[in-house]
Every structure is written in structure tokens, then in C-alpha cells.
Amino acid sequence: MAEWWRDFFDENYLKVYRRRDTKTTDQEVAFARRILRLRKGQRALDVCCGYGRHAVRLACSGIQMTGIDQSAVLLHRAKRAARRQGVTIEWIEGDVRAMEFEPVFDAAYNVFTSIGYFDAEEDNVQVVLRSAAALKPGGRFLLDTINRDRITRNPQSQRWAPIGRGVELENSRYDWERGRLDSKRVLIMDDGSRRESVISLRLYTVAEVRAMFERAGLQITNVFGSFTATKFDPDSPRIIVVGRKPVRAQRKTKRSKARR
């Protein structure tokens, strides 16, 4: 499938999501700050930062933020928001599949289903591997995505929602063989303009997210089902997994040393 995400995150995305309840974002930020144990002066990386709704708030509370995203439109908004709040953030326009940071961050996070976009599964895994590589020893990574188990209870769905000056309609179908949720979204604005987008997301089970963390060398510290810190269960709206980079590389056992 074409790389739908390249032009999906534009002015239209902002029309739908820009008004995302500020209380929800405040709650997500407070939760992430607590679970990632972020303290004033520490460094954090927002992987797929969008228009910076989390990064700007965290910077306002004294965290040194870096945000990376491929969307020039959303980054433009992010920069404006940071300027308005009087905070300095390092914004990087780039593809997360190729990001390479020195291990300087105390924490990193990837939230609001910003993983699973790529057709090649190895590309999706790279998001976790490269986020983990950016952490200092002892640093923490939080990943938040849709809970596949919940979606599979209702694999075909339709919804509509009012947006600023129009309405958004969405038809979705979970494809069991590919493990992907394919959706068609139509935005119909009051002025009669219409925009159609096709979206495809690889959904994950907790076991699959855990496997990605383990491959990245992260020790899993928490698994939640929402930003209110509820315990994960198959009906949870979200999968939120938190992992920690070991402080020291795992000691080699006597036997494995002897073999060298």
C-alpha cells in the first residue's frame, strides 16, 4: 500500500485533531511524566511528536525536549505553540525509521498510535529499536497504541463524529491475515468540500509489543490499558507498555565467557 501517512498529517488532520480535548492531553502528559519518572532538567524524546501537544507541555514543566516527526505542517504548528509558551524545543523533521541519536535521553515516548504505519514489519520494529538506542542506561520508553484484542471483537465498524466545521465518517475493517486495520475516512466540511483518506495500521497484542521491547533490550516495567493507569485487559482501549534500558549490559555467565 502507498505510504498514506506522508500526506495524511496535514491541515485536515489538524482540523480533526487540533481540538483534541486539552484535558485528555494534560492527563496523558501527567501520566507519562510520572511513569517515565521525568524530572526537571532531564532530556526526553517525543517520537512522532505531531504538533507538539505533549512536548510543549513537558517543556513548560522544565523537561528538555526533542521532537521528531515527518510532517512539516504539524511541526510548523508545534514550533508556533512552543514560541507562544516561551519554551525552546529541538524539532527535527525526519523519518523515524532512520533516526539515529546518541544515547543521551532519560526517556522517550511514542503515543497516540504512532506505530504500525509501515508495510514492512521490520520498519515498524525499527521505531522501538531506535527509540531504545536513544536512551541512556536506565532510561525509560513508553509506547501507547490501540489494543488489537478489543478491535477484533468488533472487526468491522462505522462511526461518524462532528468536527470543527464539518463531519468525519469512518469505515474500518480488521484484516485478520495481515493483522491490519484498514479504514476509509471522509471529511465533509460545511462548505461542501470533501476529502477522502485511506489508512492502514498494523495492530498489536500486548505479547507482540513485549516482543519488540525485548528485542530492543528493554526490561518491561509496566503494562497498562489506559492513561488512567488501569490494568490491561482484552477490553482495554489502549496498550501502554513501559520499558527500561538496563543500567549495565547483562553480565556474561562464566560459561559464555569460557566459550570465547
Ligand X SMILES: C[S@@+](CC[C@H](N)C(=O)[O-])C[C@H]1O[C@@H](n2cnc3c(N)ncnc32)[C@H](O)[C@@H]1O
Q: List contacts with ligand X (CB under 6 A).
A: 5, 9, 48-50, 53, 69-71, 74, 95-97, 111-114, 117
Name the residue nearer to ligand X (CB basis): 34 or 252.
34
Helices (H), the chain: 5-8, 11-17, 22-35, 53-60, 72-85, 121-133, 148-152, 206-215, 254-259
Which residue has the closest beta carbon to ligand X?
50
- The amino acid at 210: R
Grid cell for residue 218: 528493554
H or E stretch at 169:
strand 166-175
**3-class secondary structure, 197:** strand
**Could you give the CA distance from residue 113 to residue 17 in angstroms, rounded to a whole number?**
13
Name the residue nearer to ligand X (CB basis): 184 or 252.
184
Name the residue nearer to ligand X (CB basis): 50 or 243.
50
Smallest distance, ligand X to C-beta of residue 5, A: 4
Smallest distance, ligand X to C-beta of residue 67, A: 9
Name the residue nearer to ligand X (CB basis): 64 or 124.
124
Smallest distance, ligand X to C-beta of residue 256, A: 37
Grid cell for residue 111: 503515543
